[in-house]
C-alpha cells in the first residue's frame, strides 16, 4: 500500500470517505516508511501502537459515517508542541525528559478534527537554527540529497513531508523556520498572520515573532490543514478574535492578483541563478493574468540586524524559566541555589541557544537597552510601515524564500553567515504578516522556493496564488 503515502492530503480525505482504503492502511504505510527511512532522523518520537489503534477507531467512525474533516489522516507535530503525557523536547537536552502535563491548542484542534498524530519531528534546539544542526538529537538529513541540510528550524517537519513520512506536519516560524526548510526540501510551507494560530502550549522562543503553521505537499493541502488549526483561543492573549475564512474554498476560488516585486532587492541579489529562477516564476504568473507592480521596501535591508536584537532579547527572557527547579534538566553537581541555576542551564542548553541568550542579555543590559533593543523596535516599525504602504497597491508581495538552495551539512560555521539564511524571510515575522514558500525551480540540482507575502489575515489570497502557480507548474511534485 506504499502508493497511499504518495497521495496528497485532499486525495487521502476523498479516498477514506469513499472507502477506497482505510486509515489503518495509510497509518501502516507511513509507519513502514518511517522505519525504512530512520537514518533521515526526521522524528524524535514515533507513536506506533497508538497510531495503529487510533487509525482503527477512525475507521470505525468512517464506517458509521461519523467523519470529522481530517478523520484518520496521519500527521506529525514539530516537537515544540506540547502533547499531554508525551515527551516534548524542543530538540534540547534541557527538555529531554519533559513529559507535558497539558496539550497545545494546535494539537487539540487537529486532534479534534480527527487527525492521527504519528510522531513528533526533529528540530533545531528551541527552534534556534537554520540547518537543523543545533538539535540535541542530531541533525536531520535532506531526503533529496542526504549530504545536504534540510534547513531549519522545522527541518524534521519539512523532511518528513518530503520523504512521505506523514500526510502533513505542523511547524513554527520565528524568522523563517517554516519557509526556509520548505524551500530546501521542495515542499510547501505557510506561516499565517501573527495571532491566527494559538501559541498556547507551543514552547516559546521569541513571543512577538513565533507563529505556528503548516508544511504540506502543496498549497491545497496546506489550506485544508491551516483551516483546522486556526482560530481564536482565550488561552493565548495574542490570539486574534477574527473570523477564520474558509481557506479550502479560497484556495480554488477565481481571484485576481496584483503582485508587488521589490525591484531593488531583486536587482541586488548576489546569486544570478536564484534571481533568474525567481523572474521565471513571476513571468509564469504574469502570463496567467496576474498584474505585476514594482514596489519599494526601503528599510528591508535592516530586517536582519533588527531581528538579531529582538529575537535574542525575547529569547533571553523566555528561557529564563529554565532554572532546574520545576521542570527541565536539573544538574546533579550542586551545592548552592546559584549552582543549581548555573549548572542546570550550562549543562542543559547547547551552544547556539547559549549564544542567543548571551546576545539578548547583552542587548537588554544597562547602557545598551536604548542603543540596541529600542533601536531595533523602531526599525521594526519602519519595516511594518513599508509593508503597509506597499499593500495599498498590491495584493501580495513576491521574493525568493532564500538566497540559495540547500548547503552541505557542517559547511557553515560563521554564525552571521548562518543567520543570513533568513534574510528574505525575517521581514514578514517582524511585521507579523502571513507568508508562504512554494517550490519554484532548481539551483545546483536542489529545489528553491518562491516566497509570497500577504496582507494581514489574507492567508487565503497567497494560498490561492500559490495554488494557481502549482496548477501551471510541476516543481512541487516529488520526482
Partner 1 sequence: MKITKQDLKNISLLSKIKIDEERSASLIEDLESILTMVNKMDELDTSKVNPLTHPIENTQTLREDIEKKDIEREKLQELSKEKDSGFYLTPKVIE
Site for partner 1 in 181-240 (CB under 8 A): 193-195, 208-209, 234, 237-240
Out of 22, 37, 78, 344, pick the active-site residue.
Answer: 78
Residues 449-478 that bind partner 1 (CB under 8 A): 456
The reply to whether 2 belongs to the active site is: no
Contact between 378 and partner 1 per CB under 8 A = yes
Contact between 362 and partner 1 per CB under 8 A = yes
Structural element, H or E, at residue 193: none
Residues 293-352 that bind partner 1 (CB under 8 A): 299, 301-302, 304-306, 308-309, 316, 323, 325-327, 330, 334-343, 345-346, 349
Structural element, H or E, at residue 208: none
Q: Alpha helix locations (H) across 64-150?
A: 105-112
- Indicate if the alpha-carbon torsion angle 194, 418, 167, 217 is positive or negative: positive
- Single out the residue of 70, 376, 398, 446 in contact with partner 1 (rule: CB under 8 A): 376
Q: Rounded to the nearest whole angstrom, what is the least distance from the CB of residue 174 to partner 1 in the complex?
A: 12
Nearer to partner 1, 6 or 346 (CB): 346
- Single out the residue of 2, 374, 411, 444 in contact with partner 1 (rule: CB under 8 A): 374
CB 189 within 8 A of CB 222: yes
Q: How far apart are CA 460 and CA 133, in angstroms?
A: 33
Q: How far apart are CA 475 and CA 324, in angstroms?
A: 47
Q: How far apart are CA 213 and CA 192, in angstroms?
A: 6
Collapsing DSSP to helix, strand or coil, 20 comes out as: coil
Nearer to partner 1, 19 or 235 (CB): 235
Say which DSSP state 172 is in. Answer: E
The reply to whether 78 belongs to the active site is: yes
Residues 81-140 that bind partner 1 (CB under 8 A): 98-99, 101-102
Binding mask 233-272 for partner 1 (x = CB under 8 A): -x--xxxxx-------------------------------
Structural element, H or E, at residue 328: none
Nearer to partner 1, 71 or 233 (CB): 233
The reply to whether 177 belongs to the active site is: yes
Nearer to partner 1, 341 or 478 (CB): 341
Look up residue 299 and give its three cell numbers: 528599510
93: nearest Cα among 414, 312, 331, 311: 331
308: nearest Cα among 448, 176, 435, 172: 176
Structural element, H or E, at residue 461: helix 459-472
Out of 23, 153, 230, 396, pick the active-site residue.
Answer: 153
Say which DSSP state 319 is in. Answer: G
Contact between 365 and partner 1 per CB under 8 A = yes
Binding mask 391-420 for partner 1 (x = CB under 8 A): -----------------------xxx--x-
Q: Show which residues are catalytic.
A: 78, 153, 177
Amino acid at each position: 500500500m506504499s502508493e497511499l503515502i504518495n497521495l496528497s492530503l485532499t486525495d487521502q480525505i476523498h479516498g477514506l470517505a469513499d472507502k477506497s482504503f482505510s486509515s489503518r492502511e495509510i497509518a501502516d504505510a507511513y509507519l513502514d516508511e518511517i522505519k525504512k527511512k530512520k537514518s533521515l532522523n526526521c522524528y524524535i518520537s514515533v507513536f506506533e501502537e497508538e497510531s495503529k489503534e487510533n487509525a482503527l477507531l477512525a475507521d470505525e467512525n468512517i464506517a458509521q459515517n461519523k467523519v470529522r474533516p481530517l478523520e484518520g489522516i496521519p500527521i506529525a507535530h514539530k516537537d515544540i508542541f506540547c502533547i499531554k503525557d508525551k515527551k516534548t523536547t524542543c530538540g534540547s537536552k534541557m527538555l529531554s525528559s519533559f513529559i507535558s502535563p497539558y496539550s497545545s491548542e494546535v494539537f487539540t484542534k487537529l486532534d479534534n478534527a480527527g487527525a492521527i498524530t504519528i510522531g513528533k519531528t526533529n528540530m533545531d534546539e528551541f527552534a534556534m537554527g537554520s540547518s537543523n544542526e543545533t538539535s540535541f538529537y542530531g541533525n536531520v538529513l535532506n531526503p533529496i540529497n542526504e549530504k545536504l541540510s534540510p534547513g531549519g528550524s522545522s527541518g524534521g517537519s519539512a523532511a518528513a513531508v518530503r520523504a512521505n513520512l506523514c500526510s502533513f506536519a505542523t511547524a513554527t516560524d520565528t524568522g523563517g523556520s517554516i519557509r526556509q526548510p520548505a524551500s530546501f526540501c521542495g515542499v510547501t510551507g505557510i506561516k499565517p498572520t501573527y495571532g491566527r494560530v494559538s501559541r498556547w502550549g507551543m514552547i516559546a522562543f521569541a513571543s512577538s515573532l513565533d507563529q505556528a503553521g503548516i508544511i504540506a505537499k502543496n498549497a491545497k493541502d496546506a489550506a485544508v490543514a491551516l483551516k483546522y488549526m486556526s482560530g481564536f483561543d482565550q488561552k493565548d492573549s495574542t490570539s486574534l478574535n477574527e473570523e477564520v475564512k474558509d481557506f479550502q474554498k479560497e484556495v480554488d476560488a477565481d481571484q485576481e492578483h496584483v503582485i508587488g516585486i521589490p525591484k531593488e532587492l531583486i536587482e541586488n541579489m548576489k546569486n544570478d541563478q536564484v534571481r533568474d529562477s525567481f523572474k521565471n516564476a513571476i513571468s509564469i504568473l504574469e502570463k496567467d493574468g496576474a498584474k505585476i507592480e514594482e514596489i519599494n521596501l526601503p528599510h528591508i535591508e535592516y530586517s536582519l540586524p533588527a531581528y538579531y536584537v529582538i529575537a535574542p532579547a525575547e529569547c533571553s527572557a523566555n528561557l529564563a524559566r529554565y532554572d532546574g527547579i520545576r521542570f527541565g534538566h536539573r544538574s546533579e553537581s550542586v551545592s548552592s541555589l546559584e549552582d543549581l541555576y548555573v549548572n542546570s542551564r550550562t549543562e542543559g542548553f547547547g551552544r547556539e541557544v547559549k549564544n542567543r541568550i548571551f546576545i539578548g542579555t547583552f542587548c537588554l543590559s544597562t547602557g545598551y537597552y536604548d542603543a540596541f533593543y529600542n533601536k531595533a523596535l523602531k526599525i521594526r516599525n519602519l519595516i511594518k510601515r513599508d509593508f503597509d504602504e506597499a499593500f495599498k497597491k498590491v495584493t501580495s508581495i513576491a521574493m525568493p524564500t532564500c538566497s540559495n538552495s540547500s548547503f552541505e551539512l557542517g559547511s557553515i560555521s560563521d554564525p552571521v553567515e548562518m543567520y543570513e539564511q533568513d534574510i528574505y524571510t525575517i521581514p514578514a515575522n517582524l511585521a507579523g504578516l502571513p507568508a508562504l514558500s512554494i517550490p519554484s525551480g532548481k539551483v545546483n540540482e536542489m529545489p528553491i522556493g518562491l516566497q509570497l507575502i500577504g496582507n494581514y489575515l489574507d492567508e487565503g489570497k497567497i494560498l490561492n496564488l500559490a495554488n494557481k502557480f502549482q496548477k501551471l507548474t510541476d516543481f512541487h511534485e516529488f520526482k
